[in-house]
Structure 1
Amino acid sequence: MKQTSGISVRLLAHYDSHARTLPWRSAPGANAADPYRVWLSEIMLQQTTVAAVKPYFEKFTVRWPDVMALADADEAELMAAWAGLGYYARARNLLACARIVAKEHGGDFPANEAALRVLPGIGAYTAAAIAAIAFGKRAVVVDANVERVVARLFAIGTPLPQARTEIRTATDRITPDMRAGDFAQAMMDLGATVCTVRNPLCALCPLNADCAAYAAGDPTGFPVKPARKARPERHGYVWWMQNDGHVWLIRRPGKGLLGGMRALPTSAWDKEPDYAPPIAGQWNRVAAPIVHVFTHFALNLQVEWLHIERDCMTGQAGEWWPIDAMNDAGLPTLFAKAAWAVMEEIA
């Protein structure tokens, strides 16, 4: 068995000198952090970069400074504030979790992984991260960065996702009893800044003497990834209806993709969607379609626009939104792309 006792010592010493300064972090050695800020950041960081999350995190914590304030948030306002961050089920789970913590836990997050995992939107990784970083508990924290670092340290040749059990076991072996939160964040930092996907900076790595992949001269060969499957493609239409400086927006159904968000009216998204505009008329087509990639499919969306009389939408579910305030509508990125495409064409 590879000797692992010195790995955490060397990594923590490196972290003490090189830790990233992030708005949700405590300084190295603090051994605890505000659970609300840790939880909020971890939810936002799921499949999203640190650079993208920073402005959202700062905006959220000004508007909703603690979990009790967030629990009282209006869902539509929260979804609008989340717009552009993507993976919108996270926002709905965020509100559901905040309300449970406020109602059932008096505003205090539980400190152990099992109790945390019961809460909406908190899986194994997030529960471990909160327990370790916010409460100083020993927990095995494995995100994509940690996964890559550990797979290289031990030259784990089993392809993902099958390798994850082996990677977690190896991470458990090197996680210290003390400063587990700092260790988790140090591993994340190492993966984000040194042990990167491409062109890792092995010469600067505090663990290069411990790394089996480095010794073998093939750090980028790990983790071993399965062959990538082709992403399915779907098509659809989106419609911009304008009157006197306002555009007609709808609210998407609460469940499903982009649920509860303001949006432009759209067709179903399918291989060959039906063409059924909200109203009849001589629709104008934006020359270039909008292409947007979701996790499980790519969407090719044809954008059309029409000037209409306001009473055409009387009795319909939706609202007239001022075009000069589109940035405040909280549109998901897909519909924001469509809006800007129309505005550029008809300006």
Structure 2
Amino acid sequence: MHRNNIGSMTITFVCFLLLTILCGQSSPYQITQNFQRVIDTAASKVVAKTEWINVIETTFLLGVPTCSSSSSLSYPSSFNISRNYLVFCYDKGALDPWPVIYTKFSQMIVEEIVSQYPALKLTANVTEIDINQLGYFPALQNAVNLGVCDVAVASTHYSDSRGANAHFQCAYGYSYSGILRTELENTTYIVTSEKDLNQAGLIIAVANTSTFDAYVTANCPKATIIRLDEYKDAWAMILSKKIHVLLGDGSDLFFWLSKNRNNCSSCAVKLYGDRFNYGSFITNLIAISGSVSITISSIGLIFCMLFMLFMI
């Protein structure tokens, strides 16, 4: 009898401990398939609009790719959202004209959604995400994974590795990789293409954790690489002649040089590589509708509850 009491008390204690642990756990953030479909479909509609194509073409002289998946996208019968706003985010420190571009895209997404669901009173809240600690893509990915923002609208280059860690919408623009050759020792270090970048003594600046960072890490072991948290630091280094080359999005480089030609008269931009697309993404933590997941701990909790009821 004594042993039975001890056993019962032990099981009761274990059940109490398990209940405490489970109650203290929070479920991971997830979005619904309904939310995913609405955002994906709205983005596909926006990028096909003449208004949006004109924004990209007049700003960067490049264009918007055709979305191959648009024909398979469709709105659900309703948008199951319990708030009257969507949060869009981009990297803090983004250069002109990108903040204007990001805000415009965010507003057009909301306008498109409201046109489909007129009863909704949605607004677009646009915010910045600090990328200094984690780096560009990890910081934005973290923001959508935690629900800090709904859609990362920064002009994120798509890659297979990024596609495995986030859910991308139809691209809203395309560009090429670019080399901005500064005025520093431009007759000593000749750079006419990406093949000339791997030179001892050549100082190359890139955005930290960017695709350009990955490129120089793999292909330019002889060069000196400076990894910057914000592009604006690179512009100052160009004008003060502290770097030979800045690698970046060709659209960014052309736009900056067009605004700073008087201060960088012999600077030049060259494009290289294949065309790449850029656009927005959401979290890939998407709940499967109607799925039921029973964990081992949940089964244990059910057993404990039945045991405690029996003891009563």
- Taking structure 1 as the reference length, the TM-score comes to 0.20
Structure number, greater radius of gyration: 2
Highest RCO, 1 vs 2 (Cα 8 Å, sep ≥ 6): 2
- Taking structure 2 as the reference length, the TM-score comes to 0.22
